[in-house]
Amino acid sequence: MRIGVFVCHCGSNIAGTVDVERVAREALKLPGVVFSDTNKYTCSAPGQESVCSAIKENALDRVVIASCSPRMHEATFRKMIAEKTDLNPYMLEIANIREQCSWVHKDREQGTRKACDLVAMAVAKVSCDRELFTTNLPVERRALVIGGGIAGIQAALDIADAGFPVTLVERESSIGGKMVMLDKTFPTMDCSACICTPKMSEAAENPNIEIKSLTEVESVSGYIGSFDVTLREKAKYVDYDVCTGCGLCETKCPTKKIPSEFNQGLSTRTAIYKPFPQAVPSKPTIDAEHCKKLQSGKCGVCEKVCPTGAIRYDDVDRVTTQRYGAIVVASGYELIDWTGLYGEYGAGRYPDVITGLQFERIVNASGPTEGHILRPSDRTEPKTTVIVKCVGSRDPNKGVSYCSRACCMYAAKHAHQYLDKVPDGTCYVFYMDVRCAGKGYDEFYMRTLQDGAIYVRGRVSKIYPEGDGLVCMGEDTLSGEIVRVKADMVVLETAMVPSRGSDVLASKLNVQRGPEGFFTEAHPKLRPVETNTAGVYLAGVAQGPKDIPDTVAQAGAVASKVIGLFARGQIESNPMLSKVDVSRCSGCRACVDVCPYGALGLVQANLRENSRKVTRTVCQVNEGLCQGCGACSVACRSGALDLLGFSDEGIMQEVEMLCQ
């Protein structure tokens, strides 16, 4: 064994508190170490060069680099060894003498002694290292995008434009998500539908995109490059291959009093319906729950009037399984149900207390009031409007503790729109803080103030009816006075929460969620769109509250990750996996029970034992599924399972070296 130890100064980062020359000298006394050296910056080009030439000149077969955290540069040094030497890149251990030594200990003697110990432990471990080899796993170049909001649409378009097929799954009957419900977008005030619907039809027309509406993910198995995903496409009762989307059925359907989800309950729709005129797919579905024919068998009007005979009352759910190389989660958000949380705001009893999204529909030219600002109760124009921010957000007692990020801006937008359409109106905005970080955002807020919006700093503590209006009571915390505002309409800017079913989706995908329920990215700064499950990416509010520009940017970033994966066409497997010694395995199944990835299974194996052929049950590792956690190697009592790269022997040697 010929081990080389390289101790890094890291400028003065390490050398300032650790006597690196002494660490290098001490290392030479360790068993197996034939060479040691120090380096100003080991990770720099000249540093790497000197390590590589030392490896060659001294015929080293194992390397210990004492430097910063392995989380920082282990990959760098592995790559260096693989590319510039003949050594196997896994014959390397890093001793972390910076983050866990020189930066946290001030005493030079103590730091140096600890560094010597850490190097000794790394030397002990490297002596047990074995050559490991990666294999290349093929990547199915097809992406699944879960969620057809703007995040999903943008990601699907970008991936499809690179030439790869995409399945865009949406559980509602049309893609478009929340953005298509909005009237205008801040701060430029472009019409939301005018910029969103072209994207929707672009997605519909793109030959690489298959849109599956009314579809949910049933189950997911496999791993990066080859996820087998089962999708359930709910019965639509309309044959989309035959339907032309003429809309005759909608006009004739006798069941007309169903609250429209798209218009947030402010208008009604029929039982066979398209949620909105520009829906994609641009074809209707039957809402089975409200359809007379499907509920009681009596009606059948739509079938009679349909000129192409597209109605299928006997339609059933279709379950299909397809292989995908990557999965994009763009499952979006919904608004917190404030009615159950804020009794003091009337808990939904007062019709003129509406949510921001309802306001968007009211102010929209194609909405239920055709763009005239009329309050729901009596369809009159409200002369005084109160906007309440942070309903649910930043309220850990009743709602959620986080900031929903977009509300400050859309509250300003609502104030602006209201004052624009009701020039003689008065608008109050109750706020906790005004957070308008973003390009052109603060300017927009200032403009709203100039429009005449009256900002009152404080939470609204109570809303109660008085006459034909409402009174909002709250404290102006800047003046310390109790404020009572008589309002004709109140708009609550409610918190964004993860869309329903996120928990189930997370467990199907084996992706973690944070305490607030949004999906967790692999690293908050450096890997913001990846998850800890390789091959699963996050776009949009599914990852955390954000506005449209951020969502679109993130969707583009996800697409570039997916395209990068597909362009490589294969992935290098992690060779630090579990390994089974079948001669010691009893087939007791303990490992199978604890494996979170289903990577272990029992198989019948033909073995030769005591010069006899025997067939018995032993465990087998699926190298595609194994992630190298090592839980099985501890569950295995006999020690038949071991984890390559963190072997029992390596860990024990480290322990024993430390104890010496």
Partner 1 sequence: MTANLTQQIRDRARDLLQSGTVSCFIAWEPARFEHWRTPVTIESPDEVDRIVVDEWCDQLIAKYALQRRGDGRIGMVARGCESRAVERLVADRQVSRQDVYLVGVGCTGMLDRDGGAPLKKCEECQRRNPVTYDEMVGETVEEPRPYRFGEVDRIESMEPEQRRAFFDRMFSQCAMCFACRNVCPACNCRSCFADAERVGWLEKDFGLDASRYWGLMRAFHTGDRCIECGECERACPMGLPLMTLMHKQVRDIDRLFGPYEGGGLSDAGPDPLRSYRTDDVEEFM
Partner 2 sequence: MSVTSDAVAAEARSRAEGAASPEGGAGSPWQPKILAFCCNWCTYAGADLAGLNRMNYPADIRLLRVPCSGRVNPQHVLRALQDGCDGVLVCGCHPGDCHYVSGNYYAKRRMMVFKRLLEYSGLRPGRFQVRWISGSEAGKFRDTVVSVTEQISQMGPMASDAPSLEALAGADALLEAARGAGDAR
Q: Where on the chain is the footprint of partner 1 (CB under 8 A)?
A: 128, 583-590, 593-594, 602, 617, 635, 637-640, 648-649, 652-653, 655-656
CA-nearest of 328, 269, 346, 396 to 149 is: 328
CB nearer partner 1, residue 567 or residue 655: 655
659 binds, among partner 1, partner 2, none (CB under 5 to 8 A by kind): partner 2
Tokens of 297: 């068998």
Tokens of 321: 């399984």
628 binds, among partner 2, partner 1, none (CB under 5 to 8 A by kind): partner 2
CB nearer partner 2, residue 189 or residue 634: 634
CB nearer partner 2, residue 111 or residue 399: 111
What are the Cα distances from residue 516, in Å, to 331, 377, 396, 498?
15, 35, 11, 8
19 binds, among partner 2, partner 1, none (CB under 5 to 8 A by kind): none
- Residues engaged in binding partner 2 (CB under 8 A): 69-72, 96, 98-101, 103-107, 110-111, 113-114, 117-118, 121, 510, 512, 532, 576, 594, 596-597, 627-631, 633-635, 643, 646, 648, 651-652, 654-656, 658-660
Segment holding 204, helix H or strand E: helix 192-205
CB nearer partner 1, residue 587 or residue 624: 587
Please tell me whether the peptide bond between 138 and the residue prior to it is cis, using omega within 30 degrees of 0. Answer: no
Please report how close the Cβ of residue 18 comes to partner 2 at its closest, in angstroms. 11
CB nearer partner 2, residue 96 or residue 260: 96
Distance from the first to the final alpha carbon of the chain: 21
CB nearer partner 1, residue 137 or residue 602: 602
Please report how close the Cβ of residue 62 comes to partner 2 at its closest, in angstroms. 17
Using a 10 angstrom Cβ sphere, with 0-12 exposed, 13-18 middle and 19 or more buried, the burial of residue 493 is buried
589 binds, among partner 2, partner 1, none (CB under 5 to 8 A by kind): partner 1
637 binds, among partner 1, partner 2, none (CB under 5 to 8 A by kind): partner 1
366 binds, among partner 2, partner 1, none (CB under 5 to 8 A by kind): none
Beta strands at 469-476 and 481-487: parallel, antiparallel or unpaired: antiparallel
471 binds, among partner 2, partner 1, none (CB under 5 to 8 A by kind): none
Please report how close the Cβ of residue 271 comes to partner 2 at its closest, in angstroms. 43
Please report how close the Cβ of residue 634 comes to partner 2 at its closest, in angstroms. 5
121 binds, among partner 1, partner 2, none (CB under 5 to 8 A by kind): partner 2
CB nearer partner 1, residue 319 or residue 655: 655
Residues 536 and 329: their CA atoms lie apart, in Å, by 7
593 φ/ψ sector (left φ>0, alpha ψ -120 to 50, else beta):
alpha
110 binds, among partner 2, partner 1, none (CB under 5 to 8 A by kind): partner 2
452 φ/ψ sector (left φ>0, alpha ψ -120 to 50, else beta):
left
Tokens of 409: 């801006």
Please report how close the Cβ of residue 284 comes to partner 2 at its closest, in angstroms. 42
Q: Is residue 416 a contact partner of residue 451, using CB atoms and an 8 Å limit? A: yes
Please report how close the Cβ of residue 633 comes to partner 1 at its closest, in angstroms. 12
29 binds, among partner 2, partner 1, none (CB under 5 to 8 A by kind): none
Residues 596 and 614: their CA atoms lie apart, in Å, by 30
213 binds, among partner 1, partner 2, none (CB under 5 to 8 A by kind): none
CB nearer partner 1, residue 43 or residue 641: 641
CA-nearest of 554, 462, 574, 642 to 154 is: 554
409 binds, among partner 2, partner 1, none (CB under 5 to 8 A by kind): none
640 binds, among partner 1, partner 2, none (CB under 5 to 8 A by kind): partner 1
454 binds, among partner 1, partner 2, none (CB under 5 to 8 A by kind): none
Please report how close the Cβ of residue 626 comes to partner 2 at its closest, in angstroms. 10
Please report how close the Cβ of residue 591 comes to partner 1 at its closest, in angstroms. 9
Secondary structure of residue 39 in the 3-state scheme: strand
Please report how close the Cβ of residue 36 comes to partner 1 at its closest, in angstroms. 24
Please report how close the Cβ of residue 648 comes to partner 2 at its closest, in angstroms. 7
Residues 175 and 197: their CA atoms lie apart, in Å, by 9
Q: What are phi and psi of 183, to 5 degrees?
A: -85, -60
CB nearer partner 2, residue 206 or residue 512: 512
CB nearer partner 1, residue 217 or residue 590: 590
Beta carbons within 8 Å of 429's beta carbon, 6+ residues apart: 386, 387, 389, 411, 412, 415, 453, 454, 455, 456
Strand ranges for 239-397 from DSSP E = 258-259, 268-269, 272-273, 285-286, 318-324, 326-329, 333-335, 353-355, 384-391
H helices within 58-136, ranges in order? 70-84, 108-128
CA-nearest of 299, 294, 291 to 316 is: 294
C-alpha 296 chain-centroid distance: 42
CA-nearest of 430, 428, 433 to 394 is: 433
What are the Cα distances from residue 176, in Å, to 212, 276, 372, 519?
13, 10, 24, 21
Please report how close the Cβ of residue 352 comes to partner 1 at its closest, in angstroms. 43
Q: What is the Cα Rg of the chain in Å?
A: 31
CB nearer partner 1, residue 104 or residue 607: 607
For CA atoms 580, 586, 587, 591, give the dihedral sign. Answer: negative
Please report how close the Cβ of residue 583 comes to partner 1 at its closest, in angstroms. 7
CB nearer partner 1, residue 257 or residue 608: 608
Q: If DSSP states are collapsed to H, E and C, what string results for 516-541?
A: CCCECCCECCCECCECCCCCEEECHH
CB nearer partner 1, residue 259 or residue 596: 596
Please report how close the Cβ of residue 587 comes to partner 1 at its closest, in angstroms. 6
Please report how close the Cβ of residue 402 comes to partner 2 at its closest, in angstroms. 15
Please report how close the Cβ of residue 94 comes to partner 1 at its closest, in angstroms. 22
Residues 654 and 127: their CA atoms lie apart, in Å, by 10
CB nearer partner 2, residue 39 or residue 627: 627
CA-nearest of 337, 393, 349 to 490 is: 349
CA-nearest of 341, 329, 265 to 495 is: 341
117 binds, among partner 1, partner 2, none (CB under 5 to 8 A by kind): partner 2
